[in-house]
Chains A and B, each alone.
Chain A
Amino acid sequence: MFKKFSPSTDIAGQTPVKSSVQRAIRAAVLSQWKIEPETLEAIWPKKEGLVHVKCREHISIYTVHGEPLIIQHFDGPYYPTLRLLHKYPYILPKVGIDRGAIRFLLAGAPMMCPGLTSKGGYLPPADAALPAGTPVAIHAEGKDNAVGIGLMKLGSEEMRRINKDVGVEVTTYLGDDLWALKAL
């Protein structure tokens, strides 16, 4: 989503968000991420207004003090930015890719099932299966920090069964143009 992104051409405008909408976003984030209200309060204090940065192709970025925190595509799920995820790694469910897939991910490619189901990859066990359409943190074999954030295209069980084609669509990854932007 952010492989090519330049603030001067891709941002349509910045507006402060209405407090009623902020409440809705806060509630949605609390229900979608595994985050405690206190922690969310610490990263996004109630008093600080959220700023909505509207970008091309229905991408919305929400910033606090110019620091991008939340990404949304159209009216899909809310994603944290990768820097936020690095600070609070537990807020999204994890999947892992094997070492061979890292360089493809860093080039912006979607993650194929074999990279997730192989020995180096990681998928949650069957009793904690992830349905399709969940935002996930993509971790890499042998690394501590997440390397990207993606959206499950297939359920984790389905992935094991089919083991072919795209498993996780990549939203943002280490080294893309959003990563390069520290402030908006």
Chain B
Amino acid sequence: MPSKKNATPANPAPATEELEGPPPPEPVSPVQVLYCAVCSFPPEYCEFGSSLTRCKEWLKENYPDLYDKYYSENALTAKVGTLSLEAQTKLEKDTAKKEAKAEAKADAALKKKLASQITIKRIERNKRKHVTAIHGLDAFGVDLKKASKQFASKFATGSSVTKNLQGQDEVVVQGDVSDEIVDMIEAGVGVLKGIPVDNVEIVEEKKKKGGD
């Protein structure tokens, strides 16, 4: 599902509504609420979110009149309203702290993403038959189901999303296709876009002796 970013407040609902208006009492048309593209809140609540500075920039760029309404000098003084000065400063401090925290978190997540590995494992089934298990695609925001579908149609073999021994999801493709998959990741075909090849690792898993 393509997530419609809330920068466009015009969603499809009102259009259909106007079409089906034959019953005499017209349906009340919905209020179009603008949502901030950064934090997804209505802009008046951005100040409570964890990305106030970026929200402010976004609003200033896209809706300067609203920006004036929410962040101009007298708006700020009016806002303080019933709150004591003390509580207000505390609130501001909290917001700043929250923002810093969220930023650190985002940073850490990005680092983790860059550091995470993709393992392509060739597992021996029978003497000459293999399956290929690809683990770690989800760290790069790849939809595993879609990826498995793509592999299945590309290699014309069975492919599925299964849980491995550790209970994590991985894509299992029938047949030994590890090199081809590396090529695909390199070329960034379909859903595999944007994965650094350096993080890809090929391992081989032999069946234990006397297994069969």
CB distance from B203 to the nearest CB of A (A): 27
The 3 closest A-B pairs by CB, nearest first: A87-B30, A42-B27, A38-B27
Q: Are B81 and A174 in contact (CB under 8 A)?
A: no
Q: Cβ of A6 < 8 Å from any Cβ of B? A: no
Pick from B3, B13, B33, B49: contact of A145, CB below 8 A.
B33
Prevailing SS type, chain A contact patch: loop
Complex CA distance for A42 and B12, rounded to whole angstroms: 12
Q: Which residues of A contact B23 (CB under 8 A)?
A: 38, 41
Q: Cβ of A133 < 8 Å from any Cβ of B? A: no
User: Assuming the A-B contacts A87-B13, A99-B81, A179-B40, are A174 and B45 also in contact, with contact meaning beta carbons closer than 8 angstroms in the complex?
Assistant: yes
Pick from A86, A141, A179: contact of B81, CB below 8 A.
A141
Q: Are B33 and A86 in contact (CB under 8 A)?
A: yes
Give chain B's interface residue range (CB within 8 Å of chain A): 20 to 34
Question: Known contacts A36-B27, A174-B41; can you find 4 more A-B pairs with CB under 8 A?
Answer: A86-B31, A100-B82, A103-B48, A183-B3
* Chain B stretch 80-112: residues in CB contact (< 8 A) with chain A: 81-83, 87, 91, 94
Q: Interface digits, B25-57 against A, CB 8 Å rule (1 contact, 0 not)?
A: 111101111000001111011001100000000
Q: Which residues of A contact B49 (CB under 8 A)?
A: 175
Q: Which residues of B contact A182 (CB under 8 A)?
A: 3-4
Q: Are A99 and B83 in contact (CB under 8 A)?
A: yes
- 18 A–B contacts, CB within 8 A, in A order: A36-B25, A41-B27, A45-B20, A87-B33, A88-B31, A100-B82, A100-B87, A102-B48, A103-B91, A103-B94, A120-B81, A142-B81, A143-B44, A145-B42, A145-B45, A175-B40, A182-B4, A183-B3
Q: Are A39 and B27 in contact (CB under 8 A)?
A: yes
Q: Interface digits, B1-22 against A, CB 8 Å rule (1 contact, 0 not)?
A: 1011000000001001100100
Q: Are A147 and B83 in contact (CB under 8 A)?
A: no
Complex CA distance for A148 and B27, rounded to whole angstroms: 24
Complex CA distance for A129 and B83, rounded to whole angstroms: 27
Q: Are B83 and A100 in contact (CB under 8 A)?
A: yes
